[in-house]
């Protein structure tokens, strides 16, 4: 009988030990889950930022074919941060080729700036048809605000032409009208409708602007009719009257500050959806002390020519008809949302009294 009680006792003890071990495992698992749940997500980029146009500089990261999208994005950010030399990042744009997840770019940008303890810039991420280097998946370019003035202000231009030479000539003319600093580097970001336009564009760009920060890409995977769409920016040599001078294809600004927005997406494909996107961008700008009525540059990146027409039509309801902003309406390959129809980005003056 004693042996029976001993066996029962040992069995009960074993059960208690197993329950204790299981309880410890559950507590450990719960603690691990709680730790996982408390990990902070990377912050979202700001919707808009203010900057002094006289202190702006323009950078781009060289293309790389090493690794996939995540590695190339990190490598490009590292080079941009090195070249910025402590300047504050105002805007980053990522032109992504291939099938990588565009949303990953925003996460990497946020993580990188959080690690460096630097404020996030506004961000535009869009998919293009191809980059001019086999294996390259992302092209980053940026605007930074330096500690010291680079000139009296800045000029922004946006032009389109059937030929590379025509686009570059329009850019040259606009920068000359704005009294751009002859020795200052020019930022030149161009998309083309077909790959055979890339090399003629590169030659024309560097012939006109030997020190250009030059970025180029094919707008969509399927080639279209000849089109070269370019955006340019540079420092200007002297202030302009009343702080802003509109130049048709661009604008020169020497006001104390300007407001830059990141990409505002339009979702779905009805005119009411497009109007809602403009309303959201307008609210963003109002919170930053301006509005769409005060935009100097307003770019639209739709996913089709039909969406381009709709976005251009709705745009007229929100901008100042007497002084419409410069800008491009040019189709791209994709956006960071499956429901995205087009993206908007703006450069604006503060509203009077803001």
User: Which tens digits make up the pLDDT trace of 314-333?
Assistant: 999 999 999 999 999 999 99
Report pLDDT for 248: 85
Question: What are 70-87's pLDDT values in tens digits?
Answer: 999 999 999 999 999 999
Domain annotation covers residue 6? no
Over 60: is that where the pLDDT of 290 sits? yes
Q: What is the CATH number of the domain that holds 133?
A: 3.30.1330.40
- Residues 88-117, buried b or exposed e (16+ Cβ, 10 A)? bbbbbbbbbbeebebebbbebbbebbeeee
Alpha helices in the chain (DSSP H): 2-37, 69-84, 103-115, 164-177, 198-208, 271-287, 305-315
**117 shares its domain with 213:** no
pLDDT of 197 above 60: yes
Asked if residue 240 belongs to a domain, the reply is yes
Domain's final residue, options 97, 121, 148: 148
pLDDT-based confidence at 41, cuts 50/70/90? low
Residues 300 and 347 reside in one and the same domain = yes
Residues 157 and 144 in one domain: no
The predicted-structure confidence for 239-274, as pLDDT tens digits, reads as follows 999 999 999 899 999 999 999 999 999 999 999 999
What's the domain range around 294? 257-354
* Dist. CA 215–CA 208, nearest whole Å: 15
Q: Average pLDDT in the 30-40 region?
A: 51
Position 17 scores a pLDDT of: 41
> Quick one: pLDDT band at residue 15, thresholds 50, 70, 90?
very low
Q: Is residue 3 part of a domain?
A: no
Among 29-43, 97-111, 143-157, 198-212, the least confident range: 29-43
Nearest to 188 by CA among 161, 162, 206: 206
Cα 73 from Cα 8, distance rounded (Å): 65
Q: Do residues 143 and 89 share a domain?
A: yes
Q: What is the mean pLDDT of residues 22-35?
A: 49
Is residue 232 within 8 Å of 250, Cβ to Cβ? yes
Q: What is the DSSP string of 150-192?
A: SSSEEEEEEEEESSHHHHHHHHHHHHHHTTB-TTS--EEEEEE
pTM of the model: 0.87
Nearest to 141 by CA among 32, 216, 204, 194: 216
Residue 326 lies in a domain: yes
Among 17-21, 136-140, 221-225, which is the least confidently predicted range? 17-21
Co-location of 184 and 243 in the same domain:
yes
Quick check: 36 pLDDT over 70?
no
Domain count for the chain: 3
Asked if residue 187 belongs to a domain, the reply is: yes
Asked which of 12-16, 38-42, 51-55 is least confident by mean pLDDT, the reply is 12-16
Of 201, 222, 256, which residue is a domain's last?
A: 256
Judge contact between 193 and 162, C-beta under 8 A.
Answer: no
Of 87, 121, 148, the residue at which a domain comes to its end is 148
Q: Are 274 and 204 in contact (CB under 8 A)?
A: no
């Amino acid at each position: 009988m004693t042996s029976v009680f001993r066996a029962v006792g040992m069995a009960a003890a074993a059960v208690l030990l197993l329950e204790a071990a299981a309880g410890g495992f559950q507590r450990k698992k719960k603690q691990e889950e709680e730790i996982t749940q408390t990990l902070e997500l990377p912050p979202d980029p700001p919707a808009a930022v203010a900057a002094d146009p006289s202190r702006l500089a323009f950078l781009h990261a060289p293309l790389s074919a090493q690794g996939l999208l995540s590695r190339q994005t990190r490598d490009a950010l590292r080079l941009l941060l090195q070249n910025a030399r402590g300047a504050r990042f105002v805007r980053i744009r990522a032109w992504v080729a291939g099938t990588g997840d565009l949303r990953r770019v925003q996460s990497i940008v946020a993580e990188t700036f959080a690690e460096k303890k630097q404020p996030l810039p506004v961000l535009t991420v869009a998919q293009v048809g191809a980059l001019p280097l086999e294996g390259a998946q992302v092209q980053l370019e940026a605007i930074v605000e330096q500690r010291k003035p680079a000139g009296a202000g800045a000029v922004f231009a946006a032009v389109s032409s059937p030929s590379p030479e025509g686009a570059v000539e329009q850019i040259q003319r606009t920068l000359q009208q704005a009294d751009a600093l002859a020795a200052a580097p020019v930022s030149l970001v161009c998309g083309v409708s077909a790959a055979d336009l890339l090399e003629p564009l590169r030659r024309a760009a560097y012939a006109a602007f030997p020190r250009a920060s030059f970025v180029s890409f094919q707008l969509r995977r399927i080639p279209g009719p000849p089109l070269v769409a370019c955006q340019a920016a540079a420092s200007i040599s002297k202030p302009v009257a009343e702080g802003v001078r509109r130049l048709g294809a661009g604008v020169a600004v020497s006001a104390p500050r300007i407001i830059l927005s990141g990409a505002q997406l339009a979702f779905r494909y009805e005119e009411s959806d497009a109007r809602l996107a403009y309303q959201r961008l307008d609210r963003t700008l109002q919170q930053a002390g301006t509005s769409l009525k005060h935009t100097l540059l307003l770019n639209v990146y739709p996913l089709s020519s039909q969406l381009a027409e709709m976005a251009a039509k709705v745009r007229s309801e929100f901008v100042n008809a007497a002084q419409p902003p410069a800008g491009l309406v040019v189709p791209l390959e994709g956006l960071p949302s499956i429901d995205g129809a087009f993206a908007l980005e703006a450069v604006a003056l503060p509203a009077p009294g803001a």
